[in-house]
Chain A
């Protein structure tokens, strides 16, 4: 018989305001098996934990129940406290009387009654708990970074500097990501390429970093410390080891009509190309859809001119398998498609552009060599209107419900740069709210509005339409309470950002959770912001939520710290709550092995005694505890009931059900 101690937390007034904690502790005293019951203001505090430790020792407790916040919050804390007092950490159960009780109910009697039931349920379970031991598994001292934007670059550099091998898998032909496309960066207005490209070079030259560009993750198996990853190295039709990046092929290529993705489709590029001058690796790639040789078999000009013989039209996708201890996801973002926003006339007017397109137009290495011109006629725009929140903070279903966070700042940046370079240009900004929290951010915005004379108009735009080549922007001015129409030469849409669509596939491969907006979910919004709920997977940059460059870099470095903390360990403790078979009941039918997603189940021939000196050899199940993740699929599948799950046994769950029903 267990000697159970029950500890009810007030959580200040979080629980105590709606649950009569003293009454709960008092009522529970009468439960069979409970030898000690106490309540305290903050059970998770140093004093609270000490109270638990003392009680375990004084009353020889064999199991404890803590009625407190969610086990997702403090289960680990209380397990550690129990362990310190000499109890097996798995002899602890949490009754969630905060998130699942006090916070959602208003009536004190009702909430108190429910809290008692929840604590009773936990007691019913803990009575059947058994001490569990974690196993150990080795750690592969190598990290994978998926995505070679600024987040991936920073994470890779930090991990590599600590002495661990890192592979960057980037789906594009070069690393650099979105930051490489930007002109200047807020709030200091330093040139994006000047601060990014040295870091790209550092990556390329770092002996611990291997850049796998033009590659994608195809398959992920294994678990924290031991991921087996299959990587597709897409055929670039150019031998990466031979190409010197001389660009002669780009000059000679006769098929020059491909849209230049790097310049947001504002100009064209040849079928064989290097995305931009500072690309890393500085190696060409052939677009097979556009290449005349690949489509018709006739041409081969680039091969003829290539001095080092790097062109290989017969190249095929290759697959490589690598092992990693940890994975950083840094897949970044893209601006949303504007199909749902016909009112802004983006599809019909060349001079309605997105902010990222403006970024390319203003960039010295962009399609217009940094001279701001209208895409339609190449003339200087004299009146430019910016429209904020295009698709952001949109609950109508056309756009995204969240704030994209970076648009207020980059629009202030654009407005300021334009006014600085072309003082004769009029700049208007339609906004819903201007949101500029952050170091030196609000000062930056105020400079745009006050010193640079940018005209900020509070109100939304209803329509943009073309009258004889002039763009008429019709919107409301809420401050003056009037409808206005601004005759503009160029309209810039601060388009909402969303995670790269490929993140869904990667999340599925990694079994990492994703939210309704396709952002990867962090393990805890406040306390574990860079860890995915999947152990060994970390999140950096916009794949986790909208953020600007400084935040992305901080998060990437935080990821690196977490990865280094993992990789310095030689062994990891494995999940103790694993499947456990009863060999005597197993008939070797293989159904459990069929449902196991991890390949943790195998079969062995074993000799069993039959009595009377006879033995028989039977095929029975065997679970590898280092590989089992403890989902329990096999336990329900087993037709003979031979499989059970430690920590969540059938008997435990049955008695929980019973405790809830017998209220």
Chain B
């Protein structure tokens, strides 16, 4: 798998990835142990279940200057906590449509299902997401300008 390279070499988006402990975090571990690369600007936060991700966390990330936010959970039907990822799916569909309404391109957000066995998928998803966000450019809409200045 190739790393993403785009025309705009200056801009490297900052990406927050929320991964559920049981499937996607393990999938990311498998991507690591299989040495499947993806860009270094993806940083993972471990949560017990994708349904632990409060829409507030996503908004916070954008406000703090993240250029993209991705949530990864177990495949529908395979949630370790039975139904958690169904809640995630509904909540995020609603949140993303709000974000879109507010002018944050919906491509900056994504929900993906990655199982513990899908290291290759994790890497592919991250490469693709970074590429998409890189093309969109910097996120300015929600960013607290004080945060960016302080960089």
On A, residues with C-beta under 8 Å from B are 70-72, 96, 98-101, 103-107, 110-111, 113-114, 117-118, 121, 507-508, 511, 513-516, 521, 533-534, 577, 595, 597, 629-633, 635-637, 645, 648, 650, 653-654, 656-658, 660-663
Contact = CB atoms under 8 A, between A and B. Distances in A.
A631 B52 contact: yes
Given A98-B32, A645-B48, A658-B64, A72 B26 contact: yes
Contacts of B70: none
Interface of B: 14, 16, 21-23, 25-26, 28-29, 31-33, 35-38, 40, 43-49, 51-57, 60-61, 64-66, 74, 77-84, 87, 91, 115-118, 123, 147, 150-151
A100 B52 contact: no
A597 B82 contact: yes
Contacts of A507: 78
B23 A653 contact: no
Contacts of B46: 71
A660 B48 contact: no
A70 B28 CA distance: 10
Contact of B51 (A98, A110, A632): A632
Given A118-B43, A654-B56, A661 B65 contact: yes
A123 to B, nearest CB: 14
B45 A631 contact: no
Nearest to B47: A648
Contacts of B37: 104-106
Contact of A632 (B44, B49, B77, B150): B49
Given A103-B33, A121-B43, A636-B53, A511 B80 contact: yes
Given A103-B33, A515-B117, A636-B91, A653 B45 contact: yes
B74 A632 contact: no
A657 B57 contact: yes
B148 to A, nearest CB: 10
Contact of B43 (A98, A511, A533, A660): A660
A631 B87 CA distance: 11
B66 A661 contact: yes
11 contacts: A70-B29, A104-B32, A104-B36, A104-B38, A511-B79, A513-B78, A632-B47, A633-B87, A645-B48, A654-B57, A660-B14
Contacts of B117: 515-516, 521
Nearest to A104: B37
B52 A663 contact: no
Contacts of A654: 56-57, 60
A561 B33 CA distance: 29
Contact of A661 (B16, B28, B32, B80): B16
Given A100-B44, A653-B45, A654-B56, 19 more contacts: A99-B31, A99-B33, A100-B32, A105-B37, A105-B40, A117-B43, A513-B23, A513-B116, A521-B115, A631-B49, A631-B81, A633-B81, A636-B52, A636-B54, A636-B87, A650-B56, A657-B45, A661-B65, A663-B14
B60 A72 contact: no
Contacts of B16: 657, 660-661
A577 B46 CA distance: 14
A117 B33 CA distance: 21
Contacts of A595: 83, 87
Nearest to A115: B40
B68 to A, nearest CB: 11
A511 B35 contact: no
